[in-house]
Amino acid sequence: MNPLSVTIKPPLPTVLGEQNLQAFISNGFPNISISPDSKAMRALNKRGFIEMGFPYYGWLVSITAAPVEIAARFGIDLLFYGEDGEVEYGGSTETDKDPEIRIEYMKRVYLEAGYDAVILASDLSPQQMQFFSFPPDEITAKGSLKRYNWSYFENWDPYRNYLVAKEFCGLEEAEETNAGTFTNFSQNDQFLYALHTYLMYLKFGFGRANQDASIEIRRGAMDRDQAVELVRIYDGQYPHEYEELYLNYFELSPDDFHKILEKWTNKELFDVANRVVTPKFVVT
């Protein structure tokens, strides 16, 4: 194989994320790094945050759509994404039997059927929409471009992936645990991920620590009692340390920002008073 990697630069990147990307490239891996229009990215992320409780919606659109465009431009007929988030973390099981990832599926499942509405509401020009638009179906249909998740063909083990990336790609882990969890080696390239997983907690009652602990149980590295203890300690922690960063990025006042968080809080699972979120449940 002669793979070409594609990276969509995230909004609000961390220094560690930038260093790890450069280390990856320096270790001999060809890479196209794309920086979409920053104003368009902000507009899509803000619209996703307000309308869907999805604070990096624009970035997700781009990492989904841009590789398809790059593959079409270069005449590449095989495209791999990483893990299938629906299968790995909970969601649609459609790809269990049919692993090919079609654009219709991306829009409906990955982008929660909100793609067209968010794009329209954001009022972006065609130039700004570059790397946020999917190639027309007739373009991808002309060739034999196939799109798959790597995790369909090989068991997705984040810790093993971390060890491989550390040995062969120069990846470094964070010095401290990531916000809202006990791990320090994945999803630490941007600050918006902490807000994304906090909103996951507000919507569904499980956050990043629960997600990470479930993975550790499935791969046999942790028993359930250990996982429950870690979830009780870490899950649902609000990333206070990044709040000012979020307010500046979304151009929102503290009151408006927290109103959006409360809007997406599941009142069947939580009580909310004076910005304090209290779960009605206990993890056992």
Q: How far apart are CA 30 and CA 27, in angstroms?
A: 9
> Of 94, 107, 98, which Cα lies nearest the Cα of 137?
107
Q: Do 184 and 68 lie in a common domain?
A: no
Predicted local confidence at residue 141, as pLDDT: 56
Predicted local confidence at residue 143, as pLDDT: 58
pLDDT digits (tens, 9 = 90+) for 171-202: 999 999 999 999 999 899 999 999 999 999 99
Q: Do 135 and 184 lie in a common domain?
A: no
Predicted local confidence at residue 86, as pLDDT: 87
Checking DSSP bridges between strand 78-81 and strand 146-149, what pairing results, if any? parallel
Predicted local confidence at residue 72, as pLDDT: 85
> Of 15, 176, 29, 150, which Cα lies nearest the Cα of 83?
150
Residue-wise DSSP of 144-202: T-EEEEGGGTS---HHHHHHHHHHHS-----SSPPTTSS--SSS-SBSHHHHHHHHHHH
User: Between vectors from CA 18 to CA 13 and to CA 24, what angle results, nearest 5°?
Assistant: 140
Residue 148 lies in a domain: yes
Strands (E), 44-137: 78-81
Residue 208 lies in a domain: yes
Predicted local confidence at residue 56, as pLDDT: 96
Residue 188 lies in a domain: yes
Q: Do 78 and 116 lie in a common domain?
A: yes
**Contacts of residue 42, Cβ cutoff 8 Å, sequence gap at least 6:** 11, 58, 249, 250
Q: Do 76 and 10 lie in a common domain?
A: yes
Q: In the listed set 99, 119, 152, which residue is the last one of a domain according to the structure?
A: 152
Q: In the listed set 83, 118, 152, which residue is the last one of a domain according to the structure?
A: 152
Q: Do 143 and 184 lie in a common domain?
A: no
Residue 111 lies in a domain: yes
Residue-wise DSSP of 118-144: HHHHHT--TTTTTTTSPPPHHHHHHTT
Checking DSSP bridges between strand 270-273 and strand 276-279, what pairing results, if any? antiparallel
Please classify residue 262 by burial: count the beta carbons closer than 10 Å to its beta carbon, then call 0-12 exposed, 13-18 middle and 19+ buried: middle
Its sign, for the CA torsion 232, 235, 236, 242, is positive
Residue 190 lies in a domain: yes
Q: How far apart are CA 238 and CA 184, in angstroms?
A: 17
> Of 116, 92, 118, which Cα lies nearest the Cα of 105?
92
Within 10 angstroms of residue 49's Cβ, the number of other Cβ atoms is: 26
Residues of the chain with pLDDT under 70: 137-143
Residue 163 lies in a domain: no
Q: Do 107 and 194 lie in a common domain?
A: no
Q: Do 66 and 139 lie in a common domain?
A: yes
Q: Do 12 and 125 lie in a common domain?
A: yes
pTM greater than the 0.85 cutoff: yes
Q: Do 127 and 229 lie in a common domain?
A: no
Q: Do 205 and 87 lie in a common domain?
A: no
Residue 141 lies in a domain: yes
Structural domain for 194, as ranges: 176-279
Q: In the listed set 152, 168, 196, which residue is the last one of a domain according to the structure?
A: 152
Residue 164 lies in a domain: no
Q: Do 129 and 186 lie in a common domain?
A: no
Q: Which helix (H) or strand (E) holds 273?
A: strand 270-273
The residue to which tokens 């961390």 are assigned:
14
Query: How many domains does the chain contain in total?
Result: 2
Q: Do 133 and 15 lie in a common domain?
A: yes
